[in-house]
């Protein structure tokens, strides 16, 4: 049995592998979500679609633009997916036992609860890094969209936020992050496990086949994208909005007071499609990201177990 700490590390390694592939689409998603923010009818379009974002970003900013925010993305993914993948199974087994099920039994309600809970833990831990990642990815010196935050690097971003707002700045948008992550986490692993089990039980693929990994991950990614897109748009906008200082010294957002306020104002000015800006980029990010994360997690877990058995066998033989 792999320990919680080992699951956390394996999950974090899998997530970092995935984010290297998916980060360019995250940059595109952020910029599309901020384009025409609170402008009637969606406002002027600097970018036509996800492909246009990637082409223009590459043309004017090069590889540093395409991979903008990669370092905080790594840290965030270690904390989020390490928690999501590392704590999911222990939480699911604990919840199962609490409600009278056997620990290994797959129950939809307890699986969703475990997924949401593990995701919330990761979102809270990783919030400062998601915040600076979003701000760094939104920054474009040539074709700016939304509020622009010009940070030299990740440490400069954290230091600037801390200097201006202290802890309140680092936890800004955490309510939106918790909602977004809970929604995504509640369906990611349950849909992955359900799809994988369905494929195996119907004889469409073997448990350890690449086809089974890819198909299960693709379905899981689509489910996550559909469920959390509006919350994701709200999160990006809350992270990136300008702030002002009240007479009592408290720093508050200029545009939105909370995620619900953000969604409502977006709906009023941009219509329901405003919630779904960047959906294509989101899916193009989340599909390969989910596929690589979950596939790598299964592979790394298998390799770790194999290495552990080999090491144990060697120790036993030597004894």
Say which residue, 7 or 72, is predicted with more confidence: 72
Say whether 252 sits in a helix, a strand or coil.
Answer: strand
Instruction: Specify the pLDDT at position 41.
Output: 66
Strand partners, 251: 245
Distance of alpha carbon 12 from alpha carbon 78, whole angstroms: 4
Instruction: Specify the pLDDT at position 159.
Output: 94
Please, what is the Cα angle at 214 between 209 and 220, to 5 degrees?
Answer: 130
DSSP string, 32-62: HHHTTTT-GGG---S--SHHHHHHHHHHHHH
User: In the predicted model, is pLDDT for residue 315 greater than 50?
Assistant: no
Strand partners, 252: 244
Structure tokens belonging to residue 246 = 């009240």
C-alpha dihedral sign at 12, 232, 118, 191: negative
169 within 8 A of 251, measured Cβ to Cβ: yes
Structure tokens belonging to residue 40 = 């009637």
CB neighbour list of residue 243: distance below 8 Å, 6 or more residues apart: 164, 165, 169, 172, 251, 252, 253, 254
Instruction: Specify the pLDDT at position 218.
Output: 81
21-74 pLDDT, tens digit per residue, is 999 999 999 999 999 888 876 667 899 999 999 999 999 999 999 999 999 999
pTM above 0.75, yes or no: yes
Distance of alpha carbon 250 from alpha carbon 229, whole angstroms: 30
CB neighbour list of residue 105: distance below 8 Å, 6 or more residues apart: 96
Structure tokens belonging to residue 307 = 């290495």
244-273 pLDDT, tens digit per residue, is 888 887 888 899 999 999 999 999 999 998
Least confidently predicted of 28-37, 112-121, 128-137, 228-237 = 112-121
DSSP string, 271-318: -GGGGGTTHHHHHHHHHHHHHHHHHHHHHHHHHHHHHHHHHHHHHHHH
Smallest CA-to-CA distance from 238 within 260, 222, 270, 216 is with 260
163-194 pLDDT, tens digit per residue, is 988 888 888 888 888 888 778 878 887 888 89
Ordered by where they begin, the domains of the chain are: 4-311 (1.50.40.10)
Distance of alpha carbon 139 from alpha carbon 131, whole angstroms: 13
């Amino acid at each position: 049995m792999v320990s919680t700490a080992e699951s956390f590390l394996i999950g974090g390694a899998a997530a970092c592998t995935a984010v290297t592939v998916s980060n360019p689409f995250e940059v595109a998603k952020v910029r599309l979500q901020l384009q025409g923010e609170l402008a009637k009818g969606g406002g002027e379009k600097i970018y036509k679609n996800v492909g246009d974002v990637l082409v223009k970003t590459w043309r004017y900013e090069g590889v540093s633009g395409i991979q903008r925010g990669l370092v905080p993305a790594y840290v965030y993914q270690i904390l989020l997916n390490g928690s999501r993948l590392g704590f999911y199974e222990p939480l699911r087994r604990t919840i199962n036992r609490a409600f009278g099920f056997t620990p290994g039994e797959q129950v939809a309600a307890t699986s969703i609860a475990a997924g949401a809970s593990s995701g919330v833990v990761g979102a809270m831990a990783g919030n400062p890094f998601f915040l600076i990642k979003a701000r760094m990815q939104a920054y474009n010196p040539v074709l700016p969209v939304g509020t622009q935050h010009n940070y030299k690097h990740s440490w400069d971003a954290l230091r600037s936020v801390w200097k201006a707002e202290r802890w309140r700045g680092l936890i800004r948008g955490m309510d939106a992050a918790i909602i977004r992550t809970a929604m995504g986490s509640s369906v990611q692993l349950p849909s992955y496990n359900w799809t994988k089990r369905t494929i195996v039980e119907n004889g469409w693929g073997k448990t350890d086949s690449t086809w089974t990994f890819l198909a299960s991950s693709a379905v899981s990614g689509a489910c996550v994208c559909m469920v959390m897109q509006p919350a994701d748009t709200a999160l990006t906008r809350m992270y990136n909005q300008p702030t002002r200082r009240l007479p009592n010294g408290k720093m508050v957002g200029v545009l939105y007071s909370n995620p619900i306020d953000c969604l409502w104002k977006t709906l009023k000015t941009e219509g329901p499609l405003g919630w779904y800006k960047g959906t294509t980029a989101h899916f193009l990010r989340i599909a390969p990201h989910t596929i690589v994360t979950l596939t790598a997690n299964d592979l790394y877990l298998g390799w770790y177990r194999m290495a552990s058995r080999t090491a144990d066998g060697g120790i036993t033989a030597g004894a």
